[in-house]
Structure 1
């Protein structure tokens, strides 16, 4: 597992870094405390740093020799590069649909398909079969990653407008997009409850249904009582809250049979 995690540590530094290198003017408005936005790091130093991160991750993956690891890095880093870099046919963040797709697919490759195939085929030397738990995980977590991709723009409307971006939050408004996010989360949990109820294993049926019912109620309570749609800090906190839901789902999926 560390053979997968260590190269991806550097991949994530590239993913975060390339977005900051390409968004200095936007970050001066939305996130003025970032090192490139404040001028603490120069643009040239930022480019060199993110390039070194990418080369390091690919070099380590090549040393490990795992094809799923190498391809996961290429897919994740490639998608976030075309999302961020301002060149013809690139800069996918200008499109609401391409922005969501690139972010969600990058996270799915990084956190789920990549490590699963690495452990299954490279470490355990088994065929790449996909059990019921993996299929449910891909669907539910895929929905959560879609929400993460959408919700990250809720607190950045001011800077995105200045940059001419057309995010969903700008097109539809913060309130509509927020409740769209909540609806997607509840839909994902609804599918998990349905699949749990259809499980042939009694203990898995009980655990899967009960835990996801609790998650439905918990998310609804959080949305109604803990999120202030007029506060950038509260919207940013909601975005980070989504990663907690992903973490919980990664634990719950272990009980799916």
Structure 2
């Protein structure tokens, strides 16, 4: 407020007041003529109303009001200068932690984490032969398996992102390495730490099935992603599908089932039976392995459909690049349809209880019908539509593991 503000006094209330004011003016200014009030010019300085030459002094009430305003302003500045930065720093710190946590969640690929958690839980519960087997030993084995498997899962998907930064900038720019939220060094640290943690938990448990399962999964993850001689199998459709189905359909089913059965046997004092003998007595495990082979191949093929542009630019010859999206889409649909048809037949002719038969047949028929309806509405020309359908397949994958313990 460095300029001058002209203030005109209000009109006098009555003749007497006007004459008094005029008299005061003459006395103050030494004017020898009568006249009405003249305009006055006031300058406002920080903290007070100052008077220019020939200007009247600010009234006490005005000075008091200005003083209060100055002290209020000074208090506000002091508050802003002291408490303000601390509040801002605290808010910025919270925002930074929240952003880092959000980036880490995206780095872990939550749909794969959820898939691993559900599959390990389902297969472990499938190992229970009767209600007496649902005990603390089984829960402890499940908790150990989950910690090891989820840590290994983060390492595997993180390794793939480390080697796919340039591709992900086209296909998945929201991932933290592609977007620059995480550096390559930070990503490598997370991959190494989570892999070591998963393998360490498995070895510390003393369970050979769990240790072999985690080690084999990590090794196949390296084969799939690492850009090293004879590796990076994701460039070759057959090898890529083999990696995915080996982990999702075979290693997960057999390894975690054997780990849970071992824990139950040790808890009851029984001898640990060979896995081959357990396989013969578990309809759910045999069916689940076959079903997941078909499902995992479909996931391995379909995952590349939304990424044709980036894969083609990077020289990765996926089936979607080599044969076209329509061919791969129809092939995936045929595999999934065959899987659900097989599940319905198993429910009708192999389940021994009426209620397990009802759940198996009814739920798989409903899921198959939902799949057929979604297939008709998917737009092959839209990457977003293809990605939504891909995530829908993962939801079917989750649902199957929920149903698997009912197949007996």
Same fold (TM over 0.5): yes
The equivalent residue for 2:158 is: 17
Shift, 1:174, TM fit: 1.0
Tell me the alpha carbon deviations over residues 20-43 of structure 1, each in whole angstroms, 9 at most, x when there is no partner: 001111111111122211222222
**Structure 2 length-normalised TM:** 0.60
Q: In the alignment, is residue 210 of structure 1 matched against residue 362 of structure 2? A: yes
Shift, 1:200, TM fit: 6.1
Alignment of 1:1-257 (within 5 A): 1-109=142-250, 111-125=252-266, 126-127=272-273, 128=275, 129-130=278-279, 131-199=282-350, 201=352, 203=354, 204-225=356-377, 227-257=378-408
Cα distance in structure 1, aligned partners of 2:347 and 2:169? 46
Cα distance in structure 2, aligned partners of 1:175 and 1:206? 35
Shift, 1:206, TM fit: 3.7
Alignment RMSD (CA, Å): 1.6
**Structure 1 length-normalised TM:** 0.93
Cα distance in structure 2, aligned partners of 1:61 and 1:202? 36
Cα distance in structure 2, aligned partners of 1:3 and 1:111? 14
Q: Tell me: CA distance 1:220–1:64, structure 2 relative to 1, closer, same or farther (3 Å).
A: same
Answer yes or no: is the 8 Å Cα contact 1:75–1:109 preserved in 2.
Answer: no
Shift, 1:202, TM fit: 5.2
Higher RCO, 1 vs 2 (CA within 8 Å, ≥6 residues apart): 1
Structure 1 unaligned segments of length 5 or more: list them.
none
Q: Quick check: which one's helix share is greater? A: 1
Cα distance in structure 1, aligned partners of 2:351 and 2:229? 52
Cα distance in structure 2, aligned partners of 1:242 and 1:107? 14
Structure 2 unaligned segments of length 5 or more: list them.
1-141, 267-271
Shift, 1:69, TM fit: 1.2
Answer yes or no: is the 8 Å Cα contact 1:77–1:106 preserved in 2.
Answer: no
Answer yes or no: is the 8 Å Cα contact 1:76–1:109 preserved in 2.
Answer: no
Which entry has the higher C-alpha Rg, 1 or 2? Answer: 2
Cα distance in structure 2, aligned partners of 1:32 and 1:11? 24
Cα distance in structure 2, aligned partners of 1:209 and 1:45? 47
How many residues are treated as equivalent by the alignment? 256
Cα distance in structure 1, aligned partners of 2:375 and 2:254? 30
Shift, 1:100, TM fit: 0.7
Cα distance in structure 2, aligned partners of 1:65 and 1:215? 39
